[in-house]
Structure 1
Amino acid sequence: MPGVRVQGVGVGRGVVTGPVLRMPEPLPEPSERPRSNTAAWEFARAEEALLATAADLTRHAEHSTGEARAVLEAQAQMAQDPSLLTDVRSRIAAQKTAERAIFEAFHTFQQMLLSMGGYMAERASDLGDLSQRTIAHLRGVAMPGVPESDTPFILVAHDLAPADTVGLNLGKVLGLITSGGSPTSHTAILARAKSIVAVVGVGSLDALSDGTEVLLDAAEGTVTIEPEDSEIQAARRRLGRRRSKVPIGPGTLADDTPIPLMANLTAAAEAPRARELGAEGVGLLRTELLFLDAETAPSIAEQVEHYRGIFEEFPGRRVIVRTLDAGADKPLAFLPARSDEPNPALGARGLRAFREDNTILRNQLRALAIAADATSAEVRVMAPMVADAAETAGFVLLARELGLRTAGVMAEVPSAALLAAQILGIADFISIGTNDLTQYTLAADRQLGALADYQDPWHPAVLRLIRMIGDAGGQSGKPVGVCGEAAADPLLAVVLVGLGVTSLSMTPEALADVRTELRQHTLEHARLLATRALAASTPAEARQVMLDG
């Protein structure tokens, strides 16, 4: 199939060529034969294998930083989840072998997460990886992983587990192609963090056998099978035009219009790298890490210590904190379970999780105010999953009552875009979460590779909603930011600015490419490109507007 071009979703802007190698097939599903040993012996084997799996992942985490470390630590904790061990024990008691009990327990948890949608559905593939790793320990065999090669290659897989992505040998792995995943999956996020050229969500990989030469163009999101020399040279010329990086400094357009470039962070340990790469502040500080594994809500004092450690890393700089984004799809032990929600992705999550009792939210806001007063950081706070002006008013009034001077909201659902003018009549700013905004606009689970073409922030429907928010920001004179993964796409960043976005926040590793691309365009040109993208009928057409210049 020489010259055939397959469309996916690109990660980054790089171009690579080379032969492909496929990931080995996963371990076969354990048989359902009854156990022949005692239940105690089988459970001891299962428990030991889970401990070994957790230890392996912890070792990987200790040699990682930032998002990669957080993902691996979370996986290690999953392997020791008490409810998982209880499930495994009950299955072994019902005559299952350790291997079969592990497989069934993880599979059950996977299906539960998939049914929740959203953030939790994205963790389902992590559980599949844990199952494979644990079964490999039980069988005493090597975990199927990234193939070894004496020469560089492009890796082809259905999807990659976090541990595999983190451990890629960048001297050998030129690029990555996956049939599953999306721009917001762990595979894409970690590939971006390691600056790996990747195209995800390409659908069928049947045509890519070992040794097949391919051309990967992340900016266009394409995989060309057995490309002609002319296609390779054209792609390399495009890459050459993209590679001249501007020095680290404030984000600006070619006409010196300032566009602050911020970092998305979770913990203080990530701050030095963000500053080194030129982050002008924090556009999204996630606060879930402090809450996720706690049996009881952290005290105000514990929260103050945590937040102050992060704020001190950015003296005099803007730090925008997202309040706890929890609820049915991110269950917490100290929040009441909602078993009556048939679709948790559309349930009591984000700000809505505290409609009946806002004690946890009040304590968090109070802790943020105390920590802010103890540092020179310019602390702002925003609420997730806000739908309208009434929710905005409730949150803004509460934040100010508890001592936070600047309060805004996130636009993650279409209603927030449609009512942006009303919302900005109350809030001090608005920040667009493009991951969820895209998912909810197009009603497509962001983890499903088969629907990756819908989970694309270049979709004209999403761009039109962003334009509505940008217009409302311009009319009110209030800031409009983007903190979703879309901000890390250099070409899309230009369009976002043209739509009225005034700041961008992203994974720190994307800052250099975005800073460079912005410097190639004036505000007038960005607005012209945005207008053309809005007229497109598909994401590919909208993206082509930028590729054509």
Structure 2
Amino acid sequence: MTKILTGTPVVGGVAHGPALWPGRRPDHSAEALGAGVEIAEDRRAEESARFTEAAAAVAARLRERASQNTGVAAEVLAATAGLAEDRGWIGAASALIAKGASAPSAAVAATEQFAAVFTKLGGLMAERVTDLNDVRDRVVAELLGLPEPGVPTPEVPSILLADDLAPADTAGLDPAATIALVTRLGGPTSHTAIIARQLGIPCVVAVGGLGEIESGTAILVDGTTGEIVVDPDDAVASARVEEYRHHAARVAGWSGPGRTADGVEVAILANVADGASARAATGQPVEGVGLFRTELAFLERADEPSVEEQAAIYREVLDAFAGGKVVVRTLDAGSDKPLRFVSHPDEANPALGVRGDRIALAHPEIRAHQLDAIARAAEESGARPWVMAPMIASPAEAAAFAAQVRERGLVAGVMVEVPAAAILAPAILAEVDFVSIGTNDLTQYTMAADRMSADLAALTDPWQPAVLHLISMVAQAGRGQGKPVGVCGEAAADPYLACVLVGLGVTSLSSAPVAAPAVGAQLGAVTLDVCKEAAAAALATTDPAGARAAAAAVLASDEVRFAASR
């Protein structure tokens, strides 16, 4: 009997196929783990070494997978590999083994300790619990001689269902085999959701009742509406998939540049994390880079990378888009991305603590070296990149950063991720040459909602009217001063939301490169006035579902009218 479930839509698209659940994780029973059986004292050193070797083997495999990926996928795989060799976690497990615990049971017990701490901290740290549990299971499997856990390779194209997925699993998905992703937990801006968007597969999160669907059950997933149809009518499902395929074919034909139907230019840009992801992005119709995340050069380093090392990495991205716009974000570390060569304070809430620009305030040499490296890469490549700082909260912080950037002949900007920065946008824009709105963090901080909480997924929906009002304030300030206002959060990957953002006054949109054709095609189908009308309709609502529906009513009707007139 047909049944409909609903969740939070993350990546648009329609898919129909059999449900597939991940394979079972290792058995955590006392019997399987050897819990309660004390390891003889003369064997404890050997058992500890066995645990450390297993953790190192898991870390090595994750790093190998990171080297085979690009962008966010490579970044989160590298960070997960770091968890497998985290000194605190290994130390906790080793201490338990020294008291007689078996290596598998010590791995589980140590993880429980850290998971409890991460969960209590909340925010981005709570997001790491899924990653840590994934590392635990991979290490336990290694110790017990079991196959490494993870997502199985389906025999036919399937729709993957899960309570939640570790980024290490999501990053390894094959879009030809896994045609959609649906999770019971998670939020629209989680790492898993971002990677699903990078892969270009339909994705819906925070779906209640998902556990009732058995593997093999035919389901239809609509990643635009968040609808999951269980046991749909085959003819109806096939028709919806075919309709989407025709739409996708039209979208695939879009080749840029970004502009509305009446010729208003809107830069369509890519989010990248390294040279490899930048070169891959050139295969999409993007005009440049709107967000170059530089964290990958720093993660898992025991010491700070030299100016020469950094410059070589930055040069790869500048060379990939020679002559094009490249916006570099300075180091956004801290919270869930700690630096090994910096002593981070113990914080009750790291997501609201020393991260982003605030690390540079405590360690100014790190920023100075990074800006020197960017300047060197710019000189060597003949480019003039735009450079922006994350987590700016005041005009004074913006002014101090801008002065350092301009000293090196670069274009200075800042990220607007903190509500205070949006509220004070006129004063901040007076200090810089441009701003870029990071909608993922701006949404989380505006709504005071952990982006990983399934219970709060509606609050972290980028269609939240409160967030749209803040974006409108920033865009209005940009228009008043004649300065560019971009969006580099995942909101820019939603074709309808992209139109709303342009209607609010945003001048550039940057997201996963694979999203560019859909966004560009949708913008090209409507006029600026219609974008403004859709924005006004969304602002007049009080919840994300209402905002989405109000904008869609305007944009869909105009798209039909415009298509008929051509």
CA–CA distance in structure 2, aligned partners of residues 59 and 333 of structure 1: 20
Q: Check conservation: 1:316, 1:378, Cα contact below 8 A.
A: no
Q: Check conservation: 2:493, 2:512, Cα contact below 8 A.
A: yes
- Return the match for 1:281 from 285, 288, 298: 288
| Correspondence for 1:271 | 278
- Return the match for 1:420 from 409, 422, 425: 425
Residue identity (%): 45
Q: Which moved more, 1:444-453 or 1:522-531?
A: 444-453
Q: Which moved more, 1:489-498 or 1:388-397?
A: 388-397
| Correspondence for 2:4 | 4
Cα distance change of structure 1 residues 218 and 393 upon mapping to structure 2, 3 Å threshold: same
CA offset at residue 239 of structure 1?
Answer: 5.9
CA–CA distance in structure 2, aligned partners of residues 199 and 328 of structure 1: 26
Is 1:321 the counterpart of 2:328? The answer is yes
| Correspondence for 2:72 | 67
- Return the match for 2:379 from 357, 373, 377: 373
Is 1:33 the counterpart of 2:40? The answer is no
Q: Check conservation: 2:290, 2:509, Cα contact below 8 A.
A: yes
| Correspondence for 2:562 | none
Q: Secondary structure at the match of 2:414?
A: strand
Cα distance change of structure 1 residues 236 and 124 upon mapping to structure 2, 3 Å threshold: same
- Residues 469-508 of structure 1: matches in 2 within 5 Å? 469-508=474-513
- Residues 448-527 of structure 1: matches in 2 within 5 Å? 448-527=453-532
CA–CA distance in structure 2, aligned partners of residues 195 and 40 of structure 1: 47
Q: Secondary structure at the match of 2:270?
A: strand
Q: Check conservation: 1:261, 1:504, Cα contact below 8 A.
A: yes
Q: Which moved more, 1:106-115 or 1:126-135?
A: 106-115
Q: Which moved more, 1:523-532 or 1:370-379?
A: 370-379
Cα distance change of structure 1 residues 76 and 234 upon mapping to structure 2, 3 Å threshold: closer
Is 1:184 the counterpart of 2:183? The answer is no
Cα distance change of structure 1 residues 5 and 295 upon mapping to structure 2, 3 Å threshold: closer
Q: Secondary structure at the match of 1:206?
A: helix
- Deviation per CA, 1:341-360: give whole Å up to 9, x if none: 32221112221223344222
Cα distance change of structure 1 residues 26 and 204 upon mapping to structure 2, 3 Å threshold: farther
Is 1:161 the counterpart of 2:166? The answer is yes
Amino acid at match of 2:39: S
Cα distance change of structure 1 residues 325 and 62 upon mapping to structure 2, 3 Å threshold: closer
- Deviation per CA, 1:330-389: give whole Å up to 9, x if none: 3223333212x3222111222122334422222222222232222222311111111121
Q: Which moved more, 1:246-255 or 1:145-154?
A: 145-154
Q: Secondary structure at the match of 2:76?
A: helix
Q: Check conservation: 2:429, 2:478, Cα contact below 8 A.
A: yes
| Correspondence for 1:354 | 360
* TM-score normalized by the length of structure 2: 0.90
| Correspondence for 2:560 | none
Q: Check conservation: 1:365, 1:404, Cα contact below 8 A.
A: no
Cα distance change of structure 1 residues 117 and 530 upon mapping to structure 2, 3 Å threshold: same
- Deviation per CA, 1:64-99: give whole Å up to 9, x if none: 333323332332333233443322211100221100
| Correspondence for 2:315 | 308
CA–CA distance in structure 1, aligned partners of residues 341 and 47 of structure 2: 33
Q: Check conservation: 2:186, 2:206, Cα contact below 8 A.
A: yes
Is 1:296 the counterpart of 2:303? The answer is yes
Amino acid at match of 1:416: A
CA–CA distance in structure 1, aligned partners of residues 281 and 154 of structure 2: 33
CA–CA distance in structure 2, aligned partners of residues 255 and 482 of structure 1: 21
Q: Check conservation: 1:420, 1:472, Cα contact below 8 A.
A: yes
Q: Check conservation: 1:266, 1:289, Cα contact below 8 A.
A: yes
Cα distance change of structure 1 residues 61 and 21 upon mapping to structure 2, 3 Å threshold: same
Matched residues, number:
546
CA–CA distance in structure 1, aligned partners of residues 358 and 71 of structure 2: 29
Q: Secondary structure at the match of 1:525?
A: helix
CA offset at residue 131 of structure 1?
Answer: 0.6
CA–CA distance in structure 2, aligned partners of residues 457 and 133 of structure 1: 34
Q: Secondary structure at the match of 1:4?
A: strand
| Structure (1/2) with the larger helix percentage | 2
| Correspondence for 2:112 | 107
Structure 2 unmatched runs, 5+ = 557-566
Amino acid at match of 1:343: N
| Correspondence for 2:15 | 16
- Deviation per CA, 1:14-55: give whole Å up to 9, x if none: 101223232344333242414334212321321232233223
CA offset at residue 541 of structure 1?
Answer: 1.2
- Deviation per CA, 1:399-438: give whole Å up to 9, x if none: 22x3134111110011111111111122111100000000
Q: Check conservation: 2:269, 2:511, Cα contact below 8 A.
A: yes
Q: Secondary structure at the match of 1:302?
A: helix
Amino acid at match of 1:287: T
CA offset at residue 502 of structure 1?
Answer: 0.3
| Correspondence for 1:384 | 390
Amino acid at match of 1:249: G
Amino acid at match of 2:314: Y
CA–CA distance in structure 2, aligned partners of residues 121 and 507 of structure 1: 24
Q: Check conservation: 1:117, 1:329, Cα contact below 8 A.
A: no
- RMSD value, Cα: 2.3
CA offset at residue 532 of structure 1?
Answer: 0.4
* TM-score normalized by the length of structure 1: 0.93
- Residues 82-231 of structure 1: matches in 2 within 5 Å? 82-147=87-152, 149-228=154-233
